[in-house]
Structure 1
Amino acid sequence: MAGAPRDQALSLLAAANNHGDLAVKMSSLKQAKDILISVDPSLATELFPYLAELQSSPESLVRKLLIEVIEEIGLKAMELSPVLMPVLLALLSDDESIVARQCIISGTNIFSRVLEELALQYHRRGKIERWLEELWMWMAKFKDAVISIALEPGSVGRKLLALKLLETYVLYFTSDTNDFEKPVTEASRRAFNISWLVGGHPILDPVVLMSEANRTLGILLNLLLSASSLPGSVTITIINCVLTSSLMRS
């Protein structure tokens, strides 16, 4: 029984990698993703190296879809996703902007869910599982890489998305006093805020994270000093990020 889905997934991943028709490649990858999400975790992780090979696909649309698949795995089967995080980080520097932009979008979505899961898991169980600790370490590397994209010369599209992650980071790790009295529960899940960590957390140190938020806001403010040399869309995004972050703190 286990051989059937394994063989099906391998066949589909081989088609996604080697078939001459782009439409067949895309369809095969989508079908393989459905199998990977549904099978036993041990079998899925056994197949992930074959999925990761697609990061070298010559078609940018296949690489973009690969990132979307990694995001879906990260959101639906989060405990499996640490194995795939090196692919996400590698494709951040993809030559095709469409791929790198998808990396930032998908990585930001995973980043948000990991934060929520860290808070909820500790609230429910009083401890954090090892896979989630590992995933958070990958998310920290992702955030640092995206900050580099925001600061370095390059594609405007990538930079705009990178700046939005910086804004999100500041918002997540700036205290919202209205949230302090609200318990963290599955039913009330909404955008993470550092106030969820009142009382302490074994992985997320509120003091360190608030300091990082201040540093990140400082990065945004420093970027404004060089606004005259930046594209107008980038300057507008930076201003909006700073204003939103400032309103959160007022």
Structure 2
Amino acid sequence: MKFLDLFSGIGGFRLGMEQAGHTCVGYCEIDKFSRKSYEAIFDIKGEWTAHDITTVRITELPTADIWCFGFPCQDISLAGKLRGFTTGHRSSLFFTVTNLIKQLPDNRRPTILFIENVKNLLSINGGLDFLRVQIELYQLGYDVEWSVLDSAALVPQHRERLFIVGHLRTKRQRQVFPIPDNGTTTTKGLAQVNPTVTHQYERVYDPDGIAPTLVATSGIRTKIITPTQKSLKVSDATHRGYTNAHSGDGISLTYPTSQTRRGRVAHKKSAHFTN
């Protein structure tokens, strides 16, 4: 299917969509540095593009089956001023997109809307803003479903995001959520010793392949170890080459690829280190 990548950033949506076999026909991003990264990562030859969504005319948009957009979250996020849709101008760009769809004839409207934002969209302004999202999409002819997904299910980072899928009512697609969970979260290069725990700080990982984005103050606490595994070998720069970590020990994997500072273990202490 063909998709349009709005508020494209450096291409998070696009990466997943292309891996799923879909084709991008155009993208829109206002930040010049994000655009440079996007255009260096992907083959954008011949694609439609625009810098500012507020200046886009409906006549210039390519036809696409799916519109992907993670509209700005600054007015919604707990890290922002929580203006919401009422007084916030950046997150209200959601309605800029829906106004473009309103101008399309029925036979040109995207079959699927794939939308992402922070989890707080569900509750900001007492839930009224999320109700406005649902009403807006319903009036456009879309039935919606949504789910909060946490990246910690796949990578060593706790990052919850709200995903909304809108189905054009005249071309109803199969339900997406909830996404089935087979009970494991093992990925290539990242083996979780106990996949049944629900909190990031309670997880135990094989140190080989841990992502280098872990900062020095995060670490991983070996609070839970399976009965068959009495300890976890953490690769380090000692003569032996590793240190045994036991239940309750703190592990720092700040420099997973370093030959001199690979990993450190703080016995019977929380996983809090300084450089």
Q: Would you say same fold, with TM above 0.5?
A: no
TM-score by length of structure 2 reads 0.30
Whose strand fraction is larger, Structure 1's or Structure 2's?
Answer: 2
Which structure ranks higher in relative contact order (CA pairs < 8 Å, sequence separation ≥ 6)?
1
Larger radius of gyration: 2
TM-score by length of structure 1 reads 0.33
